[in-house]
Amino acid sequence: MSEYDLVVIGGGPGGYVAAIKAAQMGLKTACIDKQTAADGSPVLGGTCLNVGCIPSKALLDSSHQYEFFNKEGKKHGLVGSVKIDISQMQKRKETVVKNLTQGISGLLKKNNVEWLHGFGSLKSKNVVQCTSEKGLIKNLSTKNILLASGSLPSRIQSLPIDNEYIFDSSGALEFKSAPKELCIIGAGVIGLELGSVWRRLGSNVTVLEAQTSFLDTADKDVSAEALKLFKKQGLKIELGTLVTEAKIAKEKVTISYKKGVERLESSFDKVVVAVGRSPYTEGLNLDEAGVKSDDKGFILVNEFNETSTKGIFAIGDCTLGPMLAHKASEEGILVAEHMAGAKAPVEITHVPWIIYTWPEIAWVGPSEQFLRNTKKEINVGKFPFRASGRSHARGETEGFVKIIAEKNNDQILAVHILGSNASELISEAVTAMEFGATSEDVARIIHGHPTLSESMHEAALATLGNAIHY
Ligand code: FAD
Ligand code: NAD
């Protein structure tokens, strides 16, 4: 007899959400996570809550308010200047994280999910071993297993993280003061978000990016405009620079990099390596239960997120697909429903991407360039925030909304937004696309005035060639 219906390894946004959902559907569920907070206490929430989405957004919000007041305050009649107290900013961030992680342990309790603090590994296809910090071993027999072990920052071998001069994203969330000269390797999501935080707080930030193009996954209109704006804000973004080596001497890190045929060097006070993340499956003993992964370590799953072993599932960052918290959570819910008897395969087509710079970047669906390359016949409607009343009232007129619809039936295929609060605006696009809406559907919906969302309305009208305010 199995002790449990489901044992989840990993208590991040994939694992804890799946565990709650499974318990709500009547499955006897346990969730194992090994993470401990800075004070040594066990903690849930994974990368997202502890060293990812939440702490980075706390610092992005604080630093944005600081910059806004000092740069824009005068125009609004806000006189004087504001000073920063980075240690208070960090304390606030820690409180935000603590409140949210404690909330998750409360949610597991409320839903009767057993939370075990320890390292989970597969003993067989029906037994999970949980090893506590003190080395105590507990074997849990279970009908199903869910692997939600997440990811870790990718490394550059020649730049080992020492947390004194060279940091990964977790270390860059903990700086006690703004380094004078800060180098970020990688102009991806983390590089741009954390680069923005420390630039706003006073660092001279240089971002070294190996690719010759900027934000390759975004729509070209968005990435070109964003690059201009970020450079204007003071981020020094160097494209086509492949970092090869670092040397530490006299309290400086000297970075060697290739730019075209040139080999160059620059020195910094601190360096952050933000070159992507890799699946974290070390110690899970995948082979023990016949679970297959690819050559990069991503656990392979079918359309139900089931691995090569029946009854063992995997979700989130340890599987292929976007490494995003909402993708992990949604997969968790769908897998729990599947285990409880639902037959629909996991199909997550409309995953929004959001980059929390200022202005923010958000999109759902493919880029215009991708659609044109596939020879799709499309209509494109674009509405700039400089034509929006609310954007003027806020004093934030940068960016635009772009809607792409299929020519023959007007169905919305993608929405790309560069602008303040794009992170919130994109939800309307996701909802519309999930319901198979046309741009006319969005154009016929009454949007409140004056709101930023009117720009979605106008972009939908523009797709049909009928924008009113532009
Ligand atoms: P994780 O959150 O990594 O959780 C996995 C958990 O499993 C961890 O707690 C780990 O300790 C535990 N674990 C692993 N192996 C074992 C084991 N053998 N035994 C026990 N426990 C184990 N995504 C967004 O959508 N929006 C954002 O704004 C965003 N910002 C980010 C900012 C930063 C700086 C970073 C680094 C990431 C950010 N992400 C963001 C990505 C997001 O954090 C991840 O996509 C998400 O956390 C993945 O969830 P997960 O549940 O798959 O894995
Ligand atoms: P990323 O893949 O977004 O960007 C990494 C960048 O580093 C790439 O542009 C790559 O070309 C560059 N690079 C790689 N090696 C290099 C080298 N040797 N020299 C110079 N540049 C190099 O990865 P990331 O920024 O580390 O973020 C990891 C993941 O975390 C993201 O893919 C995303 O899924 C997730 N995340 C999401 C959010 C969000 O949703 N807002 C925020 C942060 C992180």
Read off the pLDDT of residues 61-77 as tens digits, 9 standing for 90 and up.
Answer: 999 999 999 999 999 99
How many angstroms separate the alpha carbon of residue 188 from the centre of ligand 2? 4
**Helix, strand, coil: what percent of the chain each, to 5?**
35, 25, 40
Q: For residue 238, which of 250, 217, 255 has the smallest C-alpha distance? A: 255
pLDDT at 278: 98
pLDDT score for 334: 95
Give the pTM: 0.97
Asked if the domains at 2-153+278-349 and 166-275 fall in one CATH topology, the answer is yes
Q: Which of 189, 238, 245, 259 to mutate to test the pocket of ligand 2 (most atoms within 8 A of CB)?
A: 189
d(CA 228, CA 187): 14
Which stretch of DSSP H or E encloses residue 144? strand 137-147
Residue ranges per structural domain of the chain: 2-153+278-349, 166-275, 359-463
Q: Which ligand is nearest to the CA of 255?
A: 2
Does residue 210 line the site of ligand 2, with CB under 6 A?
Answer: yes
To the nearest whole number, what is the mean pLDDT of the chain? 97
Instruction: Please name the helix (run of DSSP H) or strand (run of DSSP E) that holds residue 102, with its range, or none.
Output: helix 86-110
Measure the CA–CA gap between 430 and 424, rounded to whole angstroms. Answer: 11
With contact defined as beta carbons under 8 Å apart, do 54 and 48 qualify? yes
The pLDDT of residue 252 is: 97
Closest to 453 measured CA to CA, from 385, 355, 379, 364: 385
pLDDT of residue 343: 81
Query: Is a pLDDT exceeding 90 seen at residue 212?
Result: yes
Residue 2 has pLDDT above 90, yes or no: no
CATH 3.50.50.60 applies to domain 166-275: yes
DSSP-derived 3-state class of residue 266? strand
Query: Which residues, other chains included, contact 325 with Cβ-Cβ below 8 Å and sequence gap of 6+?
Result: 12, 13, 48, 52, 53
Q: What percent of the chain has pLDDT over 90?
A: 96
- What tens digit of pLDDT does each residue of 362-383 get? 999 999 999 999 999 999 999 9
Rounded to 5 degrees, what are φ and ψ at 414?
-165, 155
On the question of pLDDT at 401 being above 70, the answer is yes
Q: Residues lining ligand 1, CB < 6 A?
A: 9-15, 32-35, 46-48, 52-53, 56, 119-121, 148-151, 169, 190, 280, 283-284, 316-317, 323-326, 328, 356
For the chain, give the number of residues: 470
Helices (H) and strands (E) in the chain, counts: 13, 22
The pLDDT tens digits for 308-336 are 999 999 999 999 999 999 999 999 999 99
336 phi and psi, to 5 degrees?
-60, -45
327 C-alpha to center of ligand 1: Å?
11
pLDDT tens track for 246-284: 999 999 999 999 999 999 999 999 999 999 999 999 999
42 forms bridges with which residues in the sheet? Answer: 36
Q: Supply the residue whose CA is at minimum distance from atom 34 of ligand 2.
A: 323
With tokens 């806020």, the residue in question is: 394
Q: Which residues fall within 8 angstroms of residue 406, CB to CB, at 6 or more apart?
A: 376, 377, 378, 379, 413
Q: Over 90: is that where the pLDDT of 400 sits?
A: yes
Could you tell me if the CB of 188 is within 6 A of ligand 2?
Answer: yes
Average pLDDT over residues 70-99: 96
Q: Locate 187 and state its tokens.
A: 């102009």
**Distance between Cα 325 and ligand 1 center (Å):** 7
The answer to whether residues 399 and 419 touch, using CB atoms and an 8 Å cutoff, is yes
Predicted local distance difference test score (pLDDT) of residue 78? 95
Determine whether the shortest distance from the Cβ of 275 to ligand 2 is under 6 A. yes
Asked if pLDDT for residue 296 goes beyond 60, the answer is yes
User: Which of the following CATH numbers is that of domain 2-153+278-349: 3.40.50.10420, 3.50.50.60, 3.40.50.150, 3.40.50.300?
Assistant: 3.50.50.60
- The mean per-residue pLDDT over the stretch 203-213 comes to 97
Q: Which of 7, 32, 47 to mutate to test the pocket of ligand 1 (most atoms within 8 A of CB)?
A: 47
Catalytic residue of the set 117, 392, 449, 469? 449
Model pLDDT, residue 360 = 98
Q: Which ligand has the shortest distance to the CA of 256?
A: 2
Distance of alpha carbon 292 from alpha carbon 305, whole angstroms: 13
The secondary structure of residue 413, as a DSSP letter, is E
Which tens digits make up the pLDDT trace of 136-195?
999 999 999 999 999 999 999 999 999 999 999 999 999 999 999 999 999 999 999 999
Q: Which two tokens stand for residue 358?
A: 């200022």
In 3D, which of 430, 403, 433, 400 has the Cα closest to residue 415? Answer: 403
> What is the Cα–Cα distance from 74 to 132, expressed in whole angstroms?
56
CATH of 359-463, one of 3.30.450.40, 1.10.150.20, 3.30.390.30, 3.40.50.2300: 3.30.390.30
Q: With a cut of 70, say whether residue 1 has pLDDT above it.
A: no
Ligand 2 centre to CA of 217 (Å) is 11
Q: What would you report as the CA-atom Rg of the chain, rounded to the nearest whole angstrom? A: 24
Q: Give the confidence band of 38 by pLDDT, cuts at 50, 70, 90.
A: confident
215: CA distance to ligand 2 center in Å? 10
Nearest CA to ligand 2 atom 9: 188
Ligand nearest to the CA of 277: 2
DSSP-derived 3-state class of residue 220: helix
In this structure, how many other beta carbons lie within 10 angstroms of the beta carbon of residue 398?
Answer: 18
Task: Name 240's bridge partners.
Answer: none
Q: Is the distance from the beta carbon of residue 271 to the nearest atom of ligand 2 less than 6 Å?
A: no
Q: pLDDT of 416-453, one tens digit each? A: 999 999 999 999 999 999 999 999 999 999 999 999 99
CA–CA separation, 298 vs 42, rounded Å? 26
457 is catalytic: no
Alpha carbon of 335 to ligand 2 centroid (Å) = 27
